[in-house]
Structure 1
Amino acid sequence: MRERQILGFLSIYRLLSLSLARGITLLPFHLHSTRGTASGLELVPRSTNLCQPLDLPGSNGRESDSYGVVFDCVDIYRQPAFDHPLLKNHKLQIPPRSYSKSLITHFGLQESCPDGTVLIRRTLKEDLLRARAFRGPLKPQKDQSFTPMSYTSTIPGQHFALLLINSEEGSKVQATGAVLEVYPLNVQQGQSSSAQILLVDDSSNAVSVIQSGWHVDPDHEGDTQTRLVTYWTADDYRKTGCMNMLCRGFVLLSRTTTPGMVLTTGSIPLNMTKVVVGDEVVGYFPKEIISGMSGGTEVQMGGVVYAPPGQKSPPMGNGIQPVHSGNYRAARFTWVAAQGARIANWTVARDVADTNVYDATIME
C-alpha cells in the first residue's frame, strides 16, 4: 500500500465583489512568506522574440545578490521592452516615486541602481535553454457543466486547486486581488510548486492573460529559491508572451526590485497590470502587447504543482492537510476580491488525485 504523504492545500475565503474601476487595474494582494518558500507562476516563454543573453544596451553597472544572481542597471528608456515592435510609439508611464531603501536588504542587494535606470535580472544562455525546454503553462480545461470535476490539466503530472471567478457575459473584471501566505517547501529536481493569480480575457479567440505571483522550480530556475514571477500572453500561450524578462514586453520601472528576484521575507503586495512589491512599482504590462485587454472574463487563483508522471508530487501551500480535516493551519488566500464586474459564478476547480492531499476550500 502506497504511503500517504500530506502535501497541502490552499483555503480560499471571503469573496468580495467591489465597485467598478477604470482601466485594467488589479488590486494589490499581499504575499506573506518565511525563509525559503515556494509559490507563484510556473510558466515559460513560447515566444520567438526571446531576449539575447548578456547584451543589454545602456547598462550602467552590475549587482549580484546574496544568491549569486546577477543584475544589471539599464537606462529606463533603453530597456529591452521598447524593442518590442508594438511598443515603438509607447509613452513610458512613470508613477510617483515610491522607492524604499529597506527593500534593498530584503532582496539581498547592497545598493539600488542609479537614477534614470532600472534593475533587470541578467538573462544568461542557461536561462534561455531552460525556458525552451520547459513543459508549458497552466491551462485548465473545462466543459459547459461548470462543476469541479469538469476541470483537467493539459499537462501530465500537473495538479491544481483553484478558485475560479467568472463574470457575466458583457461584463469584465477590472481588478482582482487576495492575500497569499507562503511557507518553506521541500521541492526536488524535476518538481515545481506555485501560487498565482491570473486575470484571463477569453472573450475572443485571442485569449489574453496577465499573471503574477511566485514559484519554486529547480529545473527552470536552477535552484530552489522563491522568486517573484510575472507572465503575459496575447494569444493563449501560442506565440506571444513569456515569463519575466525572457522576452520583450513587460516595462520595468524600479531601481531595486525586478521579476526573477529572490523573495525571502516580508509581506509583499502585488498589483498585476502594475506589479508592485511593497511600495515599489516594479513595472507594468502595456495594453499594446495584450491586444488592448480591457478587463478579464475570469479570475483564477490558487496552487499548482508538478512532478513527472508516476513520481511523487511536491507540497502545495504549506504542506498541511485541507481544512475539512479540522486543521485550520493550512495555507490560505484571504481577502479575495474581484472588482468592476457582475459575477456570474464562482467555484473551486481541482485536478487532483486525492482531495485529502490537495484541495481548495471556500470558507464564508
Structure 2
Amino acid sequence: MSDSGHHRPPANQTFWPHKELQRLKRVRAYLRKINKPAVKTIQSPDGDMIDCVSSHLQPAFDHPQLKEQKPLEAPERPKGWDSVEAVTESFQLWTNSGESCPEGTIPIRRTTETDVLRANSIKKFGRKLPRVRHDTMSSDHEHAVAYVNGEEYYGAKASINVWAPSVTDQYEFSLSQLWVISGTFGNDLNTIEAGWQVSPQLYGDNYPRFFTYWTSDAYQSTGCYNLLCSGFVQINNKIAIGAAISPRSSYSGTQFDITLLFEGKSNLQLN
C-alpha cells in the first residue's frame, strides 16, 4: 500500500493565512501586556469583564519614567464636593450587582481580542488620529464647542447630561466631554479629556461609556483612551474607565448627568 502524503484535515480545524496568523499573534501578545493579573473579576450585565487589578500593576506603571513608582494618595476633595461613594451605586452597569473592587485595587475593563481586531492596527487601537481642528467647519466632524481662554486656570468643572445616541455605523462615534488644553493647536498641544462617548468601533456596542484621553504632542505619538497605554494613573477603586454608564437620560423623561472636575495640573475627579 502506498501513501501519497495527502491527508484530509479534521472538519473542525481552521487554517489561517500566514499574514492573519501573524497579526493574531501580535494581538495576543498585546493583550498579555495590557490586561494585568486580576485579584478579582466581575461580570458586567453588558458582557464586560471588569478586572480588579492591584493599583501598582496598572498600565500606567509600564511607562519608563514611572517604573517602580506607586500611586499617590487621593487629593483632599474640595468643600461641598459630594462623596463619590454616594453616587456610584448605579453610575455604571458593572456595579449593579452590588460587587466592587477591594481597597488597593482599581477596576479595569478587560480588553478582548475582538476589541483590538476592530481597529485597523494595534498602533491605532484606542488612539485618536493626529488631527485637531478648533472650529465647526470640518465636513466629517460635526461638533459644538464652548470654551474660555486667555487666563491662568487651576481647574475646570462641568455637569454633562448622559444620553445613548444612535450612530449609523461602527466607524462613527458621539461624545460629550470636558477638554482642558495647553499650547497651540500645533504639535505642542497638550490635552486632558473626560466625558462619555458612544463608540461601536472602540467598545463593540452602543452604550454611553465614561472615558478619558490625554496627549502631550497633538495626538502624534502620545496618549490614548482610558487605560489602554501607560501614563494615566488611576487611584479610584469604584469607577471603571471605559465601562458603560447607567442610567441614561430619556426624551421627555428623567434626566441623568455626570459631573467632572479637573483639579490642579493633573487630578481628575468624578461625581
How far off its partner does 1:277 sit? 2.8
**Amino acid of the residue matched to residue 87 of structure 1?**
L
- Match among 147, 163, 179 for residue 164 of structure 1: 147
**Amino acid of the residue matched to residue 64 of structure 2?**
P
Larger Rg over CA atoms: 2
Contact 1:270 1:276 in 2 (8 A): yes
Contact 1:191 1:218 in 2 (8 A): yes
- Match among 31, 36, 40 for residue 53 of structure 1: 31
- Match among 221, 231, 243 for residue 213 of structure 2: 231
Contact 2:164 2:206 in 1 (8 A): no
- The aligned runs of 1:309-324 (5 Å cut-off) are none
Counterpart for residue 86 of structure 1: 65
Unaligned runs of 5+ in 2: 1-28, 78-82, 248-255
Contact 2:38 2:52 in 1 (8 A): yes
Contact 2:157 2:259 in 1 (8 A): no
Q: Following the alignment from structure 2 to structure 1, what is the Cα–Cα distance between the partners of residues 181 and 102?
A: 36
> Are 1:103 and 2:96 counterparts?
no
Q: Following the alignment from structure 2 to structure 1, what is the Cα–Cα distance between the partners of residues 157 and 86?
A: 26
How far off its partner does 1:255 sit? 2.0
How far off its partner does 1:59 sit? 1.8
Counterpart for residue 139 of structure 1: 132
Counterpart for residue 181 of structure 1: 161
Contact 2:48 2:109 in 1 (8 A): yes
Contact 2:56 2:70 in 1 (8 A): no
Unaligned runs of 5+ in 1: 1-50, 143-150, 279-364
Q: Give the TM-score normalised by structure 2.
A: 0.69
Counterpart for residue 277 of structure 1: 270
- The aligned runs of 1:298-337 (5 Å cut-off) are none
Greater relative contact order structure (CA < 8 Å, 6+ sep): 1
Counterpart for residue 192 of structure 1: 173
Q: Following the alignment from structure 1 to structure 2, what is the Cα–Cα distance between the partners of residues 59 and 91?
A: 17
- Match among 116, 119, 123 for residue 128 of structure 1: 116
Q: Following the alignment from structure 2 to structure 1, what is the Cα–Cα distance between the partners of residues 233 and 128?
A: 26
Counterpart for residue 253 of structure 1: 235
Secondary structure of 1:206 counterpart? coil
1:191 to 1:90, Cα distance in 2 relative to 1, 3 A: same
Q: Following the alignment from structure 1 to structure 2, what is the Cα–Cα distance between the partners of residues 199 and 89?
A: 29
Secondary structure of 1:53 counterpart? helix
Q: Following the alignment from structure 2 to structure 1, what is the Cα–Cα distance between the partners of residues 159 and 88?
A: 19
Q: Give the TM-score normalised by structure 1.
A: 0.53
Contact 1:233 1:241 in 2 (8 A): yes
Q: Following the alignment from structure 2 to structure 1, what is the Cα–Cα distance between the partners of residues 163 and 36?
A: 38
Aligned Cα root-mean-square deviation (Å):
2.8
Contact 1:227 1:263 in 2 (8 A): yes
Q: Following the alignment from structure 2 to structure 1, what is the Cα–Cα distance between the partners of residues 101 and 203?
A: 24
Q: Following the alignment from structure 1 to structure 2, what is the Cα–Cα distance between the partners of residues 255 and 161?
A: 33
Q: Which has the higher strand share?
A: 1
1:226 to 1:77, Cα distance in 2 relative to 1, 3 A: same
**Amino acid of the residue matched to residue 195 of structure 1?**
S
Contact 1:76 1:118 in 2 (8 A): yes
Contact 2:101 2:107 in 1 (8 A): yes
How far off its partner does 1:129 sit? 3.4
Q: Which has the higher helix share?
A: 2
Contact 2:159 2:258 in 1 (8 A): no
1:172 to 1:69, Cα distance in 2 relative to 1, 3 A: same
Contact 2:164 2:207 in 1 (8 A): no
**Amino acid of the residue matched to residue 103 of structure 1?**
T
Counterpart for residue 294 of structure 1: none
Secondary structure of 2:31 counterpart? coil
**Amino acid of the residue matched to residue 133 of structure 2?**
P
How far off its partner does 1:199 sit? 1.0
- Match among 180, 198, 210 for residue 216 of structure 1: 198
Contact 1:128 1:246 in 2 (8 A): no
For each residue in 1:179-204, what CA deviation from the matched residue of structure 2 results, as whole angstroms up to 9, or x when unmatched? 22233422222322111121111168
For each residue in 1:267-324, what CA deviation from the matched residue of structure 2 results, as whole angstroms up to 9, or x when unmatched? 322123333232xxxxxxxxxxxxxxxxxxxxxxxxxxxxxxxxxxxxxxxxxxxxxx
For each residue in 1:297-356, what CA deviation from the matched residue of structure 2 results, as whole angstroms up to 9, or x when unmatched? xxxxxxxxxxxxxxxxxxxxxxxxxxxxxxxxxxxxxxxxxxxxxxxxxxxxxxxxxxxx
For each residue in 1:166-188, what CA deviation from the matched residue of structure 2 results, as whole angstroms up to 9, or x when unmatched? 21xxx432222222223342222
How far off its partner does 1:89 sit? 6.0
> Are 1:117 and 2:105 counterparts?
yes
Range with bigger deviation, 103-112 or 249-258: 103-112
